[in-house]
Amino acid sequence: MQIVIPYQNHQWSSLKKIAQAWTIQEPKSADAWYFLGLAEEGGNEIALAKENFGKAQKLNERHLDAMIALSKIAYLQNDLSSLEKLKEKIGLISQVQGEIIAQKISDLKNH
């Protein structure tokens, strides 16, 4: 796994190059799109990150990490609607993560 060291070291441009090559080689790999999203998020390319986390989640509807990443972006963008949709999906996989999303929803509603 070529992605491990760049990911651990927060080498976002290296990770992005590797993940882009991976998505070309395996376009139906949810993990490839997820790691591309991580690289873009790390490089502050939030719109691209959101798009690629979404691709990962579409390829694997139970990709918890992609949904958590999407929920973080939704929270930062004050996107209550997206958070509520993600809470339902995440809650089916992880009660703990579902509760974290519920708290984020509560925070947004109270601000």
User: Environment class of residue 43 by beta-carbon count within 10 Å: exposed (0-12), middle (13-18) or buried (19+)?
Assistant: middle
Domains of the chain, start order: 1-60 (1.25.40.10)
Tokens of 53: 């986390």
Q: Would the pTM count as exceeding 0.85?
A: yes
Name which of 7, 62, 56 is nearest 31 in CA terms: 56
pLDDT recorded at residue 84:
94
Helix (H) or strand (E) holding 11: none
Indicate if the pLDDT at residue 111 is higher than 90: no
List, for residues 30-76, the tens digit of each pLDDT value. Answer: 999 999 999 999 999 999 999 999 999 999 999 999 999 999 999 99
* Structure confidence at residue 25 (pLDDT): 97
